[in-house]
Copies of this chain bind each other. A is one copy, B any other.
């Protein structure tokens, strides 16, 4: 068989370095496509296609204003990755157990 599909999978979406650059560039704010293009020096179709992948996996959200489209990062989409990685956190830092405890507390606070 062939290579496994990557799109429609959050883990693979962030596997591409260009896509991570786009997310880093957007950061905590909102950016139009053209702003991302000029910030990173990628071509416009290249950015648009990566944004489509990120949209499909739910890592970015888009809002239209006139003929501009502003993208922002949907941090919740990264939670599956965070949770999976944190499953191994004990392997690189035993003190993370403290963080785990705090995490559990916070989660209980949020979902009463």
Contact = CB atoms under 8 A, between A and B. Distances in A.
B15 A12 contact: yes
Interface stretch (A3-11, A34-42, A62-70): A3-11
A18 to B, nearest CB: 8
Interface of A: 4, 6, 9, 11-12, 14-18, 20, 23-24, 28, 73-76, 78-79, 81-82, 84-93, 95, 98-99, 102-103, 106, 109-110
Contacts of A76: 91-92
Interface majority SS (helix, strand, loop, mixed), chain A: helix
Number of copies of this protein chain within its complex: 2
A81 B85 contact: yes
Contacts of A79: 92
